Amino acid sequence: MKRYLFRNDYSFGAHPKVMDAVCAVNLEGNWGYGDDGYTARAKERIREVCGCPDAMVEFLVGGTQTNVVACAFLLQPWQSVICPTSGHLNGHEVGAFEATGHKIIPVEVGGDGKITPEMLPPVLEWHQDPHLTQPKLVYISNATENGAVYTKAELTALSDFCRKNGLLLFVDGARLGAALTSPANDLTLPEFARLVDAFYIGGTKNGAMFGEALVITRPELTDGFFRMKKRMGAVMEKGWIQGVTFLTLFGEDELYFSMARQGNEMAARLQDGLRAKGWTLWVESPTNQVFAVIPNEVKARVDEVCDCEVWCPYDEDHTVIRFVTCFHTTQADVDGLLSALPNL
């Protein structure tokens, strides 16, 4: 491995507080499958921080699994998902959602990766034809795959449109912590939760060993969920690990948010530093992903210094690369990386 590891936000394990909490209960003995007290309390705590006393909360293992189980659960077989072309569900999950028998309707979006209400009426009109699937759920990510954050006005407009048109609104929250602690954000978690029908709070990318907390805010939509989860191979035998993890993430110290804030701040510092070194940013990201456009021949020099990812080609001569920070990224890491990278 390289000295600087900015490849993604799952390069490190759990925050030490999470690890300690899991170790503390390791051999005390608990019922399996989430039928334990930690899990019950963690669910209750998540309902509380979301301001959704009636919501269903269930823990799953990873992001792809959570997206797939939740979206398939919420749809009838002939119903489809509207998803940004760049959405994780569409682009990065080996057809895991199609494997449940559902079609994705990809929507071309801008560089921020966001869906806006204006994009939807043509899709709905076109799909009134019963020889096409019935679009029923809008899938978005917050933060988006490109690091952008939905504002309160944007999410409200999208939510209103969905509710008027009988569409469910689902948010992939793999980086929800980064979104809600971003300077670009003006939503509280309860405000956010009120605007959507289902979402998950990503643990894996923010300080858990693993684990995502799926929240379905409308109880009338939740019948049968546990069986669906089991049917998809998504029930952990030692479920209390997820319970203990989320109890720790949402303890009084608000660890979940402080970790996310740390990631965001380090990304901002890196972004500023790159700009100062003459680098071109692909997008201005207010969260923990930083995207830079570099001449192709510079890539090898970057690789000598750090682990990061090629995101996509930019043009024949340039490439977009991505640096990701996380709870474990320090100022020293960022400053070290910056001084090791070439000026451009």
Q: CB of 113: closest distance to a second copy in angstroms? A: 17
Q: What is the DSSP letter of 155?
A: H
Neighbouring C-beta atoms of residue 224, cutoff 10 Å: 9
CB neighbours of 277 closer than 8 A, spacing ≥ 6? 338, 341, 342, 343, 344
Residue number, 194 or 238, with CB nearest to a second copy: 238
Residue number, 215 or 236, with CB nearest to a second copy: 236
Q: CB of 320: closest distance to a second copy in angstroms? A: 14
Q: CB of 183: closest distance to a second copy in angstroms? A: 27
Residue number, 32 or 111, with CB nearest to a second copy: 32
Phi, psi of 212 (to 5 degrees): -130, 140
Q: Is the distance from CB of 67 to CB of 141 less than 8 angstroms?
A: no
Closest CA to 176 of 198, 153, 209: 198
Q: CB of 54: closest distance to a second copy in angstroms? A: 20
Residue number, 80 or 264, with CB nearest to a second copy: 80
Q: CB of 344: closest distance to a second copy in angstroms? A: 26
Q: Is the distance from CB of 136 to CB of 128 less than 8 angstroms?
A: no
3-state helix/strand/coil string of 25-80? CCCCCCCCCCCCHHHHHHHHHHHHHHCCCCCEEEEECCHHHHHHHHHHHHCCCCEE
Identity of residue 107: V
Residue number, 154 or 197, with CB nearest to a second copy: 197
